[in-house]
Amino acid sequence: MKPAAEVTFTPVEILTRSAKVLLVRQYAPTDLLPLVAMYRVFEPKRVAQGLPPPDVPRITQWLDQLQHKSRALLVWDGARVVAHAILCPISDAAVEFTIFVHQDFRRIGLGTALTRLAVAFSEQCGFAEVFLTTEISNLAALRVYRRVGFHVSSSFGEECEMKLVIGGSPPRQVPVT
């Protein structure tokens, strides 16, 4: 198995349900300003667990910290970033997944396509499990995650943790309460 740092994501074009062709590629440090620009106008602000941050200085600080400990995929519509998937290792075998899709690009299949690409990239990097946390009330996100193969592994308050075992049999489903 290659160390995750040696694995690179091969850029790919995706076609959305709205017939828009978008480019997905791995984050590079030169992408910081276009990514900050996406989050500057992102709605709703602080959608989950206080993310994304509400203002440019905190957005920039958050993204700078992320680039040192995670891998990310960006979706581009021309010169504009319209989605961001984050893979943050939590152990040698597991990675935490987070995704943000710009409000103008939701409900066109982009979230599902990007989630599938991020899971495949996680597997290429040698991870065996992908975890995420989402709000129980975020039904659109829950549908996407279940469609890709995630299962609820625990729930707490208004949030649930979901898990995907890569290349293995799915874990036992835990009801969302």
- What is the H or E stretch that residue 83 is in? strand 80-89
Q: Which domains does the chain have, with CATH numbers?
A: 4-131+144-149 (3.40.630.30)
Q: Which residues contact 134 (CB under 8 A, 6 or more apart)?
A: 48, 141, 142, 145, 159, 160, 162
Using an 8 Å Cβ cutoff, are 11 and 25 in contact? yes
Query: In the block, which residue shows the tokens 């299962």?
Result: 151
How far apart CA 147 and CA 6 sit, in angstroms, is 30
Residue-wise pLDDT tens for the chain (177 aa)? Answer: 445 567 999 999 999 999 999 999 999 999 999 999 999 999 876 556 667 888 899 999 999 998 889 999 999 999 999 999 999 999 999 999 999 999 999 999 999 999 999 999 999 999 999 999 999 998 999 999 999 999 999 999 899 999 999 975 444 443 443
Residues across the chain: 177
Contact 154, 42 (CB under 8 A): no
Please report, to the nearest 10 degrees, the dihedral formed by the alpha carbons of residues 21, 22, 23, 24 taken in order: -130
